[in-house]
Structure 1
Amino acid sequence: MTEHLILLAPSANRVYGAEAPRLCEAELRAMAAGFGLPEPDVARTDVAGVSYLALHTSGVLTDAAVRVVSQLSAAHALFRREGDLLAPVALEQPRAAYPGDLVTIQKYQGKTNEQWTRLLLNVTAAATRLPDRLLDGSLQVFDPMCGRGTTLNIALSLGLDSIGVDLDSKDFQAYSAFLKTWMRQHRLKHTADESALRTSGRNRGKRLQVEVAASKEAHKAADTQHLTYLLTDTTDLDGLVRPRSVDAIVTDTPYGVQHGSHGDRLARSPLELLDRALPGWLRTLRTGGAVGLSYNRHVAPREDLAALLVTHGLDPVDETPDAFRHRVDASIDRDLIVARKAR
């Protein structure tokens, strides 16, 4: 039996950091199932006072297993245990190596933890019919309630194209200003255009369209990433996002936050918002794609949320009960749910 040790990256959030080993273990199990790997024999362990996730296998890790471990939201380093010594095993780097501060530099009240956002994206992508798209850079990501763009930044850091939608003009302007400044400061080859969003003579909001390359070499090879942010109503997307064009819909559902139309604030239970928004979202999703929702159990009971997804033709993915459930604060009991579009 061979033992590999996964060293987890520290989290700036103390509460989340305490839960990270358990959440990462659940993430690894979900990823292994999605990528067709054997059920992992994994448990938390301490070595010389340092916490690791211990992964036991019958031999050295396969290339496929290393790729999955490398993708984990909190994976910082990987070692093979040889007696009292730890031999480092190289993790695979993202296809597009953007500076790490892309996902950490923004600080604002209510920002979703970056590790949790990446975990949600990983678990959702693993549930799609073609999970390898997460690794080869061809996965198309859509966050229909993107706020200030944590999901968009995570997708970009992984070399993925993404689309975001939000109705809050302050969030749109803050994200646009941040991303333009960040790309300029890092001297990345890019274009970033803001324009009015109009269809059939109707004003629908604004659009930020970005194309960027991780290096000069990537730019010369036309190896670029595309990001679109639409300042518009997520419950009214007809004509704005191409049908069957995305593989994974990943979003953090609101905790009493406005996301509906100007005339109907929809600031109550997110179930009401989701019921109105899902038909438009699902038109953008390819067959075999998946929806991953982060939500607060205090305002959206899991059974009600799962029933709503089924009503809209989705197949919830079976998970170990409470595997991803954790406390954020006294008012937020956070969990995730993933469902697949079978047809």
Structure 2
Amino acid sequence: MSRYALLLAPSANRVYADQASRLARAELAAFRPVVSSDLSDIEVSSLGGVEYLTFAGDLTPRDIAYLSNLSSAYALFERVEDLLRPLELTPLAHYDSDLITIPKYAGKTNEQFTKLVLNLTILGSSSAERMLDGQLTVLDPLCGRGTTLNQAVMYGYDGIGVEIDGKDVEAYKLFLQTYLKRKRLKHTADLVPVRRQGRRAARRLEVTMAASKDDHKAGAVQKITVIQADTTQLDGLLRGGVADLLVADLPYGVAHGSYDDQGGITRSPLDLLERAVPHWLPLLRPGAALGLSWNVKVAKRELAEDILIANGLELVPHEPFDHRVDQGIERDVIIARKAN
């Protein structure tokens, strides 16, 4: 059995970087269902004074292709006695990395963490084997300015978002148009009204894009749709069974919130989850998975699990991903799956 050493990517977020090795260890373990080799002896090791994630296995080229998408992967080596032999990583990267790194705004989720949650959701779904090959659709029903949607299109997937704040939808449209024009990529971007029962109910941002001129000529385009609407009032705005994956950052109870039934702001992620899940589930295909992150300081994990189970979802077991963000936020992840 061969041994490997994974060098972790540096993080611009110091607090996240301090916990990166533990999170990477848990994420690597989550890839076990899709790799052909048994991954064992996963641990954090110091080699030449540098911290690596080390493990044992017999990786095939396809296994390496899967592991290339670890959110913290920077370089992978095979350990040959006291030497490290570099192995080529081939991450899913249909666009330049600045699609992910350029956007900077208050409340933006760390992009490494966004990728981690998307990975866990894929691996917890019936689409796990299609991670490298399939045309998947990712739904973020609390999409903000599109961090998760950008990661989805980076992977070559389609994205659907729901965002109640019109300014965020407009800012996302402006960013995408500017980015695609600067990269000289073929695209369209339209923000149009949506009517329900003869009345204006929402606005819809529709973007089509292609990663290259050849892709555009071949009809290999990707689509992003963002609905400006309340995520708990989606009847008639999206057709059922449109998404393979749902990834969302719930309100943290500090700066983020959502509207309650009386039109006021609630800071409770559990209140939102209880009201929203029945509206989200019809949008998901059989075997789809939900990946949610939230602040455990304002919502206990057990209560979030109870809401998902009560809606007929099956919890997907995984190693702990709880970690400190700042003094008021300790973030955790939960993955659940819709029945096939």
Alignment TM-score, normalising by the size of structure 1? 0.94
Q: Quick check: 203-212 or 296-305, which moved more?
A: 203-212
Quick check: 199-208 or 248-257, which moved more? 199-208
Question: Which AA in structure 2 matches 1:315?
Answer: E
Cα separation, partners in 2 of 1:307 and 1:251, compared to 1, 3 Å: same
Correspondence list, 1:1-343, <5 A: 1-33=1-33, 38-57=38-57, 59=58, 61-94=59-92, 97-256=94-253, 257-260=256-259, 263-320=262-319, 323-343=320-340
Pair 295,247 (structure 1): closer, same or farther in 2 beyond 3 Å: same
Does the aligned pair in 2 maintain the 1:142–1:246 contact within 8 Å? yes
What amino acid is aligned across from residue 44 of structure 1 in structure 2?
A: V
Aligned counterparts of 2:123 and 2:34: Cα–Cα separation in 1: 5
Letter in 1 for 2:236: G
Contact persistence 2:324–2:330 (CA under 8 A): yes
Paired letter, 1:55: F
CA contact (8 A) 2:257 2:268 kept: no
5+ unaligned residues in a row in structure 1: which ranges? none
Q: Is the 8 A contact 1:143 1:249 kept in 2?
A: yes
Cα 1:36/1:139, change in 2 over 3 Å: farther
Contact kept? 1:188, 1:216, Cα under 8 Å: yes
Contact residue 233 and residue 261 of structure 1 kept, 8 A: no
Q: Give the C-alpha shift of residue 339 in structure 1.
A: 0.6
Opposite residue 193 of structure 1, the aligned amino acid is D
Q: Which amino acid aligns with 1:199?
A: R
Q: Contact 1:266 / 1:273 at 8 angstroms: preserved in 2?
A: no
Report the TM-score, using the length of structure 2 for normalisation: 0.95
Answer whether contact 1:206 1:231 (CA < 8 A) is retained: yes
Q: In structure 2, what is the Cα distance between the partners aligned to 1:311 and 1:136?
A: 33
Deviation at 1:169, TM superposition (A): 1.4
> Do 2:34 and 2:128's aligned partners in 1 also have CA atoms closer than 8 Å?
yes
Q: Percent identity?
A: 48
Residue identity opposite 1:4 in structure 2: Y
Separation of aligned partners in 1, 2:300 and 2:35: 29
Following the alignment from structure 1 to structure 2, what is the Cα–Cα distance between the partners of residues 81 and 64? 19
Give the aligned residue type for 2:8: L
Contact 2:260–2:266 (8 Å) recurs in 1: no
Output the CA distance in 2 between the equivalents of 1:24 and 1:44. Answer: 9
Describe the SS at the equivalent of 2:68: helix
Rate the CA distance shift 1:80–1:314 in 2: closer, same or farther, 3 A.
Answer: same
Q: Aligned-pair distance for 1:39?
A: 4.4
CA distance in 2, matches of 1:131, 1:299: 31
Q: What is the CA distance between 1:8 and its match in structure 2?
A: 1.3
- Structure 1 residue 189: deviation in Å? 1.0
Alpha-carbon distance in structure 2 between the residues aligned to 1:337 and 1:328: 17
- Counterpart secondary structure, 2:270: helix
Q: How many residues align?
A: 338
Deviates more, 1:255-264 or 1:23-32: 255-264
Contact 1:139 1:160 in 2 (8 A): yes
- Shift of the alpha carbon at 1:85? 2.4
| Offset from partner CA, 1:198-249 (integer Å, 9 cap, x none) | 2221212211111111111111111111111111110011122221121111
In the TM superposition, residue 309 of structure 1 has moved relative to its aligned partner by 0.5
CA-atom RMSD in angstroms:
1.6
